[in-house]
Amino acid sequence: MYFILDTLHPDSEKQGDSWEYYMPGKEGPASVPDGMENRKRYLPMLGLVSVALMIENVIGLDISLPRKTVNWTMQTLEEMGIEALSLKKNSITILSNKNVRGWEIRLESEKLYYFTIHILEDDKKKTLPIPSGKCSMLIDKL
């Protein structure tokens, strides 16, 4: 994400731009093989990159469809999550919030999957099978 931002706002006086492909280890557009084009201002790709980076790095979800697993790594307990995330033939909602009973994670899914919550601040980690439908778990009970 930082390399994309550095490409859009370079240190020099020239104006940056957006690209379909970026170099993997530094700022700037990637070089592509003959016959391919690295399209300038290709916004659909930037939208996908931004959403994927938000889900993985800000919210902290790591999803594996083949293994039917969702891993959620939280730095600290805070109100956050994702609603109606479409995963092929399954839609999931995972939200954390604080209520009178303490910190709670509400889960909703159309199909069974395995959910791992890892809270780094409290060094708590738990893996549970999540059935289809709605359920919730209290963090204090982990």
Residue 24 is predicted with a pLDDT of 83
The model scores a pTM over 0.95: no
pLDDT at residue 109 greater than cutoff 90: yes
Residue (of 104, 118, 125, 114) closest to 73 by Cα position:
118
* Strand boundaries in 24-100, DSSP class E: 61-64, 69-74, 80-87, 90-99
Q: 3-class SS at 124?
A: strand
Tokens 């995972």 appear where?
94
pLDDT at residue 1 greater than cutoff 70: no
Residue 84 is predicted with a pLDDT of 92
pLDDT classification of 76: cutoffs 50, 70, 90: confident
Q: What's the token pair of residue 55?
A: 């889900």
Higher pLDDT, 7 or 59: 59
In whole angstroms, what is the distance from residue 98 CA to residue 138 CA? 10
pLDDT at residue 97 greater than cutoff 70: yes
Write out pLDDT tens, residues 14-66.
777 888 888 888 888 889 999 999 998 888 877 877 788 788 888 899 988 88
Let me know how long the chain is: 142
Q: Where are the domains of the chain?
A: 1-57, 60-142
pLDDT at residue 81 greater than cutoff 80: yes
Cα separations (Å) of 28 from 46, 54, 103, 124?
14, 21, 43, 40
Q: 3-class SS at 47?
A: helix
